[in-house]
Amino acid sequence: MNNSNSDKRSGAGKPSGDRKKAPATSKPAMAKRSQNRKPVVKKDSPNIPKPLKSDDIRLNKYIANSGACSRRDADIYIQSGNVKVNGIPVTEMGYKVKPGDVVNFDGAVLTPEKKEYFVLNKPKNFTTSVEEVEHRNVLELIKGASKTPMLPIGRMDKNTTGLLVFTNDTDMIRKFSLPNQKSNKIYQVTLDKNLKYEDLEKIQSGVTLDGHRLFVDEISYIENEAKTEIGIKLRTPNVKVVRAIFESFKYNVIKIDRVAFAGLTKKNLPRGIWRPLTEQEIINLKNC
């Protein structure tokens, strides 16, 4: 702190004249006390977090980005002294890594991956589940998109089509898996019979599934289409909920197509084709 600037702001050192003495809680008194404080730690201590810059990144996030472990587990490794930055053990939470720093995690040098984002217009007969070995996996469709492993945001069964986002950003994947996620998803649903208007109104007012109340942002018939074609907007990341809504009203769902996801659309994106997100789309996705 620059004492001369502080003195100017606080009025310290100026003659008081006939002015009344300021109370102990006034700003000048507080400023004067702060000048006498001694630094708790040395400025050049290697374990003190560096000043925040645009390219600086928290150490636990740096570790998580490398794929070594989650942020929470990274904190445990840091506290236990198993992480070094430029050869110096770091045990403080909030430490920030600068570009060019060498991070050693439990004996191995880490290299964080560049965050990448892609969107795919998923066709039928591909699944996001690695457990369904009898069906082809969506990862086949984005081979060559990146040199680093990509994961889909959310799940889709083999019969659901439409927008599916892929990334190596674990924070992004975790964010969209939260039940209170606020971004809208829009689906076009094909039913086995016309949706009654009274059922449409009931769905619009909210549906209870397995004891949980689900609120629908919007539902409507598709313009110039049969009343078996329904558009529905909701926030849940779980596609299975869309099917469950209509099945609870005794309709069979023939097809579900996700036409929008958190502001992204499949406009000019043919079925089975992927593309990288633009910088603006990435910003919008992070701000959802």
Which residues have CB under 8 Å from 183's CB, separation 6+? Answer: 176, 235, 261, 262, 263, 288
State whether residue 255 is helix, strand or coil: strand
pLDDT in tens, 206-232: 999 988 898 899 999 999 999 999 999
Please enumerate in sequence order all residues whose Cβ is within 8 A of that of 142, keeping only pairs 6 or more positions apart, or say none.
118, 120, 150, 166, 274
Characterize the bridge pairing of strands 83-85 and 274-276. unpaired
Is residue 162 within 8 A of residue 213, CB to CB? The reply is no
Segment 246-275 mean pLDDT: 95
> What is the reported pLDDT for 31?
42
pLDDT at 84: 94
Residue 231 to residues 135, 176, 194, 242, Cα–Cα distance (Å): 28, 22, 13, 11
Q: Which residues are catalytic?
A: 157
**How far, rounded to the nearest angstrom, does the alpha carbon of residue 155 sit from its chain's CA centroid?**
16
Report the distance separating Cα 32 and Cα 13, nearest Å.
Answer: 10
Give dist(CA 126, CA 3) in Å, integer.
67
CA atoms within 13 A on the CB side of 248: 17
The answer to whether residue 6 scores a pLDDT higher than 70 is: no
Q: Are residues 169 and 218 in contact, defined by beta-carbon separation less than 8 angstroms? A: no
pLDDT tens for residues 124-148?
A: 999 998 777 778 999 999 988 888 8
- Rounded to an integer, the average pLDDT of 246-255 is 96
Percentage of residues in the chain with pLDDT exceeding 90? 52
Cβ atoms 88, 47 nearer than 8 A? yes
User: 43-86, pLDDT tens digit by residue?
Assistant: 444 444 444 445 788 999 888 877 778 888 899 999 999 999 99
Q: Has residue 20 got a pLDDT over 50?
A: no
* Rounded mean pLDDT, 246-269: 95
More confident residue, 10 or 263: 263
Sheet holding 108-109, edge to edge: 88-89, 83-85, 103-105, 108-109
pLDDT for res 197: 97
Query: For the whole model, what pTM was predicted?
Result: 0.65
Residue 161, helix vs strand vs coil:
strand
Predicted confidence at residue 135, as pLDDT, reads 81
